[in-house]
Amino acid sequence: MAEATIERAVVTPGHDGSAELLVTIRYGNGGSGHVSLDAGAAERLFDLCGVTRLEDLAGQPWQHLTHILDTPGD
Amino acid sequence: MTLSRSRSFTTAHPGEDWPDIARRALPGEATDAALEALKSWNLHLFLRQPGGRILGSDVIFTEAPLPGAAGDG
Amino acid sequence: MDLIIRNGRLVDGTGLPGFLGDLGVADGRIVHVGGRIPGRAAREIDAAGAVVAPGFIDPHTHFDVQLLWDGQARPALEHGITTVVPGNCSLSLAPLKAEHRPRLVGMFQQIEEMPDAAFDGAFEWTWESFDGYLDALEGKLGVNVAPLAGHSVIRLWVMGDAATERAATAEELTAMQALLRQCLEAGAIGLSTSFVDVDEKLQPVPSRYAHFEEIDALASVLGEYGRMLQVVPEFYATDITLARVDQLAELSLKHQIPTTFSPLFDSAATPDNVNRVLARVSEQMARGARVWPQVQTRPIDISFTFEVASLMFAFTPGWYVTMRLPREEKIAALSNPERLDELVDAAEPGGNIERFESVRVRAVIRREDEALVGRTLGDIAAERGSTPARVMVAIALANDLQASFLAADLGHNDPARIGPLLAHPMVHIGASDGGAHIQSFATYGDTGYLFRHFVRDRQDFTLEGAVKKITADTARIWGITDRGLLKPGMAADITIFDPDVIDRAEEEVAHDMPEQGMRYVRHARGIEAVIVNGELAWSTQGGYSDAHSGRVVNA
């Protein structure tokens, strides 16, 4: 599954009234899935990917998502 | 009435860990590759503390999102 | 006759066209519908020009605690809600051993945002069992209550600390089944469980540790009574929701029970979510399963402050980077005129002020800024000869970054999609979360929103169709046999409203929780009177009455 990558990330409203980051992952078979990140997790994803703009998350490897919990927050 | 094909999933049996599920759901796959695949298909379980812990009620996907499912996995 | 409502347009909940006529009530029951009723009653209401409808039923609330000091579930009642279903999402106040109260309080505070005072002195814990909780409500209720028993508390009762550690043993499963049976015998309308909720330490609630075999065992008890299973699925991911639909269908078919999941949201970010879920629901319904998705009528708003790096600022990179700075550096950057010019240019390129124009000031800490609360940044900017982005920064700095802003209608917000979704025959209107999230947003007035936007403005529903969806359909889905219709013999739960006016009012801050605790509320517009079991519970003229005619109702 090494070929799975982040396809895009968009800001969406969460159920609790806060903004969340919806990340789309495109898999090698052509299918795609989503994960939803809160503000803190999104910050860590930006840092892990070394980017500051939403559009620059596209193309990043999916493994970054699994390292979010290993990364201390601000 | 026949149901349309949907993405395969399982739930953990009491006491099962990821290697157990990999052996059960992906027999014949090398363990490391199977674990990596399960991880990528179940990111929702690796984005909560502690990452990768399996709860009894969790949906665990045993394949990637189906192609053509309109990008809403 | 105790009550006659005269000259109203009787919209009886069947979905058939309304008609002019009188309605008579005696002993808490409807005894006459249509035609002119001769003679006089002890109380008469002239409903000329108004709609007379069955009382609305809200199937997803968290009023469990509030009902102990406010049996009218304010302000839900004044919106025409005559029956509420508390105990959703695996959490109810019973059955609960005294030793487990602190744990449940933590869970409730996480989802309801109820202040400590609500649990400390606002009521007396007199119960452990489910019937004990219902006894505690006795004589207090102004609305009807159809309570769910929560899976998490049932698990906690039987397993103690192990409820958040492991699978249940066979003996524990049997004990949980027996406990659920007691709850159903006492009057629970069903069982709720959750695959999503967390406690105050952000740890999964006990129900999430249950294996499918446990839910199956509990559903088998529901099957003995034909009662409801409510679940909270992972609504943010379509494939997981689809898996939950299949699980619920399996349980529904096996045990012949109704099931419902809430919420189901529409979002521009996942435009196929709803269609895929409804397609699966339709397939399962065609097999004879009962799997009802609950959809809320209102859109989702986002609140944010400058204290944390809200993702609201991620749309404009310069802002997001600035908001992630340490507090003092952030204040310095926002106070720097040149840096501020750059940020404003990024947010309002070419003078386009669209991004923050409609954002409202939600809360401030400076008394002199209180008049700004509720106003849009566009309005304030016009008054000050500034721009929305600039005034937002100015207000944030003046209030030590603690000013709160509200961007309304950002999700579940496309009327052209939501209207047909709500009208879908397999959609159950609900998911209001009434009584929850009280310090984040108001969860009241969804029925008014339905009539205003989807009946009057867009005509996705006829008036009669909308009434049916939130009365007779809800009663049928939940197996409540004596409510939801204007029909002789039915309980006299009645809402009288002006169809040209009914709506929800603007969100406002109230300090009506115990110890003057704060919450957001919305009052009603266009509701003229609300009758619960034949007694006038609320009216435009008199407000809330002293009647405590609400009851515990079940299937």
Q: How confident is the model over C49-87, as pLDDT tens digits?
A: 999 999 999 999 999 999 999 999 999 999 999 999 999
Please give the pLDDT value at position B72: 43
Q: How far is A65 from chain B (nearest CA, A)?
A: 7
DSSP B64: P
Please give the pLDDT value at position B70: 58
Residues A23-73 have pLDDT tens digits of 999 999 999 999 999 999 999 999 999 998 999 999 999 999 999 987 665
Q: State whether residue C235 sits within 8 Å of chain A by CB.
A: yes
CATH number for the domain running over C56-299+412-539: 3.20.20.140
Q: How far is B22 from chain A (nearest CA, A)?
A: 15
Q: State whether residue A20 sits within 8 Å of chain C by CB.
A: yes
Strand C148-150 to C190-194 pairing: parallel
Q: State whether residue C311 sits within 8 Å of chain A by CB.
A: yes
First and final C-alpha spacing in chain B: 24
Cα C475–C483–C27 angle (5° rounding)? 165
Q: What confidence tier does B20 reach under pLDDT thresholds 50, 70, 90?
A: very high
CB contact under 8 A, B47 and A24: no
Task: HSE, CB side, 13 Å, CA atoms: give it for residue C390.
Answer: 19
Residues 6-65 of B with CB under 8 A from A: 36-37, 39-41, 43-44, 46-51, 64-65
Tell me the domain boundaries of chain A: 5-70
User: What is chain C's pLDDT, residue by residue, as a tens digit (555 residues)?
Assistant: 999 999 999 999 999 999 999 999 999 999 999 999 999 999 999 999 999 999 999 999 999 999 999 999 999 999 999 999 999 999 999 999 999 999 999 998 887 787 778 888 889 999 999 999 999 999 999 999 999 999 999 999 999 999 999 999 999 999 999 999 999 999 999 999 999 999 888 899 999 999 999 999 999 999 999 999 999 999 989 999 999 999 999 999 999 999 999 999 999 989 999 999 999 999 999 999 999 999 999 999 998 999 988 999 988 878 999 999 999 999 999 999 999 999 999 999 999 999 999 999 999 999 999 999 999 999 999 999 999 999 999 999 999 999 999 998 889 999 999 999 999 999 999 999 999 989 889 999 999 999 999 999 999 999 999 999 999 999 999 999 999 999 999 999 999 999 999 999 999 889 999 988 889 999 999 999 999 999 999 999 999 999 999 999 987
All residues of chain A having their beta carbon less than 8 Å from the beta carbon of residue B29 are none
Judged against a pLDDT cut of 50, whether residue A1 lies above it is answered with: no
Distance between CA atoms of B42 and B61, rounded to whole angstroms?
Answer: 6
CB contact under 8 A, C437 and A16: yes
Residues C121-146 have pLDDT tens digits of 889 999 999 999 999 999 999 999 99
All residues of chain B having their beta carbon less than 8 Å from the beta carbon of residue C287 are 1, 3
What is the average pLDDT score of chain A?
89
CB contact under 8 A, A13 and C310: no
Strand C81-84 to C56-58 pairing: parallel
Tell me the domain boundaries of chain C: 56-299+412-539, 302-409
Listed residue (C531, C398, C394, C434) closest to C52, CA to CA: C531
Please give the pLDDT value at position A71: 67
All residues of chain A having their beta carbon less than 8 Å from the beta carbon of residue B46 are 65-66, 69
> Hey, which residues does C4 pair with through a beta bridge?
C24, C44
Q: State whether residue C264 sits within 8 Å of chain A by CB.
A: no
**Which chain B residue shows the shortest CA-CA distance from C232?**
B57
